[in-house]
Amino acid sequence: MKAFFVRLFSGIILLAIIIAAGIFGGDVLYALTLAISLIGYEEYLRVFHLENKAPGVWGIVFLAFYYVGLRLWAVEGFALFCLIAYFLVLMAVYVFTFPKYKTEEIAEAFLGFVYVPVMLSFIWQTRMLPIEGESTSLIYFLIFICSWGCDTCAYAVGMLIGKHKLAPVLSPKKSIEGAIGGVVGAALIGFIYAGVFSLDQPECALLCAAGAVVSQVGDLAASAIKRNHNIKDYGHLIPGHGGILDRFDSVIFTAPIIYILAAIFLQ
């Protein structure tokens, strides 16, 4: 019972921070997104034992460069440039220190850079989308509606009627019925949310449904990494939840999807 209330309380605090940062936007949300990305990437590096090795250290350097660039330089293609530059540095480290680092370590560091800071940066980028006639603070919240809303609905439906396993080896408790319920539930929440705040209801429901599908892939991907490396949680920052990657595993996938779909359908 105590563990439940700890988890509930920390979840409420986290939700309050997410809501407040979304309302303020700008530098407040930028700082929060940067902090989440930095902590999450460090958690990832620890899993692969790269936190004190050159590939991981250079990843932190490029994380800072990437976020500074997003904030100060509105240059088209900057993200791609940053990814290519980091890849070139990683390959230089690989060849000029050979055979100190294995190919897997180079690949793991690069994967983590895309997986955590780049994907999470779309939390802030979604809030800053130049969508005419729409409040981007309202669009921003769709990221969390389709990820955490899907998670809650999938759990409820799975507990009630779940029979067929979704990923029996990776996550035995997740069911196909729960996954479908999560998508439908997220779409319904998005539809109601849009009605309350005078947004386009069918489009918001579609965005949340699509986001809910990929959010479950994100959840399972984080679980797969933990299973492969025999760890229970990525960290202990959020009491009752674990680390940043434990709580934002689905958000990592939904943030870029909502950004892309909002840019296409809500322009």
Distance CA 114, CA 120 (A): 9
Residues in contact with 265: Cβ distance below 8 Å, sequence separation at least 6, in sequence order: 203, 206, 207
Distance CA 158, CA 121 (A): 31
Per-range mean pLDDT, top range of 8-22, 76-90, 103-117, 143-157: 103-117
Distance CA 116, CA 167 (A): 23
Report the pLDDT averaged over residues 26-40: 96
Among 117, 114, 142, 115, residue whose Cα is nearest residue 127: 142
- Match 């979304």 to its residue by tokens: 22
pLDDT band at 129 (very low <50, low <70, confident <90, very high): confident
pLDDT at 75: 66
Portion of the chain with pLDDT greater than 90, in percent = 74
Paired with 238 in beta bridges are: 242
Coil/strand/helix, residue 230: coil
Distance CA 11, CA 13 (A): 5
Distance CA 111, CA 99 (A): 21
Report the pLDDT averaged over residues 77-96: 95
Distance CA 226, CA 235 (A): 11
